[in-house]
Amino acid sequence: MGSTLDLVAAGELDLGITIHLTDRCVDVRDLASEAEARGFSSLYVPEHTHIPSNQATPVPMGGDLPVDVYPRSLDPMAALAAAAAVTSTIRVGTGVSLVAQHHPITLAKAAATIDLLSGGRFVMGVGYGWNREEMAHHGVDYATRRARVRETMLAVRQLWTVEEAEFHGEYVDFGPSWSWPKPLQQPGPPVLIGGSPGPTLIGHVAEYADGWMPIGGAGVRAALADLRAACQDRGRDPAEVTVIPFGTVPDEGKLDYYAGLGIGEVVLRVPSAPRDEVLGVLDDYARFVG
C-alpha cells in the first residue's frame, strides 16, 4: 500500500477512492462492489458524528457548510463493514476518523473487528478534526485535540497488540485489560494521519503512524524531506512510512507527478451523489487505473 519516502523510480499507481457518504447518495455496498470491479485499490469514507446547528467554525475548504452532506454522514465503521461484506480485495478505510471524539477501547475493538471480518483489509485513517462545536459536544477542548489523538492511537496500538493492555496518559487512562478480537493484520491495520503538513503532524506520523495522507495532495514534495528527517530523528527507517495523496481530482500530469515522487497510491475524490452520477465518475477515473 502506498510507497516509501525514498524517491524510487516511478511505477504504476494504485488508485483508491473516497466519498463523503450520506443517507442520500449511492449505497456504499454498490459503490464498493463497482469500485472493486473497476480495479480501484481502496475505498475511504470520512466521519462527522453530527453537526451542531449553531456551528460557527469556518469550513476548512472555504464557503458555506454543505448542510445536505456533513450532517447526514453515515457512521464510517458500520459503512465500511457493509462494504467489506460484499467485496474481497479492495481495502476499506476511514478517511478520516475523528479520533479525539472516541474512546480508545471502543475504537480499537471496532477497527479490529472490521479488520478480522474483512480478511485484513482495514486501514485506519485518522485526523485531528476542525469543527470546534462538534468536538465540544463530545467534551473535547479544541486546543487538546492533537494530544488526544496521539494518546488515543498509542492506546489503540496497545489494545491491538498486547494480550493484557494498559495505558496511562493525560487524556487516556485505563488499567490492565483484555480485549479481543485482535486485528488480523499485525501489529495492526495501517494507521495513516490525514492533514496538511506541519511540525506536529509530521512528528506524529514519524512517532506512531504508518503513513501520511496529505488532504488534497498539496505540499507533498516540500514535506518529504521534513518527514524523512523526523523519522531519522526518532531512529526510524523512513522507508517504513507511506505517503498517499488523498481526495484529489485526477489528471495525467498530476498522477505522473506523484509517481515521479515514488508515491504508489493516490486516493481520488468522487461526489456525494446518486448511484448513476457516481458510477459515471468511476468510469471516467477508471481510464487511469493500470
> pLDDT of 205-230, one tens digit each?
999 999 999 998 778 999 999 999 99
At 2 the pLDDT is 52
Q: What is the mean pLDDT of the chain?
A: 94
C-alpha 287/C-alpha 27 separation (Å) is: 23
> pLDDT of 154-194, one tens digit each?
999 999 999 999 999 999 999 999 999 999 999 999 999 99
> pLDDT of 115-133, one tens digit each?
999 999 999 999 999 999 9
For residue 2, is it within any domain? no
For residue 5, is it within any domain? no
- Going from the C-alpha of 73 to that of each of 76, 137, 167, the distances in angstroms are 8, 17, 31
C-alpha 248/C-alpha 220 separation (Å) is: 12
pLDDT at 76 over 50: yes
Q: Which three cell numbers mark 118?
A: 474483512
* pTM exceeds 0.85, yes or no: yes
For residue 106, is it within any domain? yes
Q: Quick one: DSSP state of residue 286?
A: G
pLDDT at 151 over 60: yes
- Give the full edge-to-edge strand order of the sheet including 242-243: 242-243, 211-213, 191-194, 122-127, 91-98, 42-45, 14-18, 265-269, 246-248
For residue 51, is it within any domain? yes
C-alpha 72/C-alpha 58 separation (Å) is: 18
Beta bridge partners of 173: 168
Please give the radius of gyration of the chain, using alpha carbons only, rounded to the nearest integer.
Answer: 18
What total of structural domains would you count in the chain?
Answer: 1
At 1 the pLDDT is 59
For residue 143, is it within any domain? yes
> pLDDT of 221-270, one tens digit each?
999 999 999 999 999 999 999 999 999 999 989 999 999 999 999 999 99
Average pLDDT (59-69) is 78
CATH number of the domain that 124 lies in? 3.20.20.30
Domain around 226: 14-288
DSSP string spanning 137-190? HTT--GGGHHHHHHHHHHHHHHHHH-SSEEEE-SS-EEEEE---PPPSSSS-S-
C-alpha 24/C-alpha 73 separation (Å) is: 10
C-alpha 70/C-alpha 264 separation (Å) is: 30
Cell 517504513 found at: 240
For residue 265, is it within any domain? yes
The number of CA neighbours under 13 Å toward the Cβ of 245 is: 27
Characterize 240-264 residue by residue with b for buried, 16 or more Cβ atoms within 10 angstroms of its Cβ, and e for exposed. Answer: ebbbbbbbbebeeeebebbbebbbb
For residue 277, is it within any domain? yes
For residue 7, is it within any domain? no
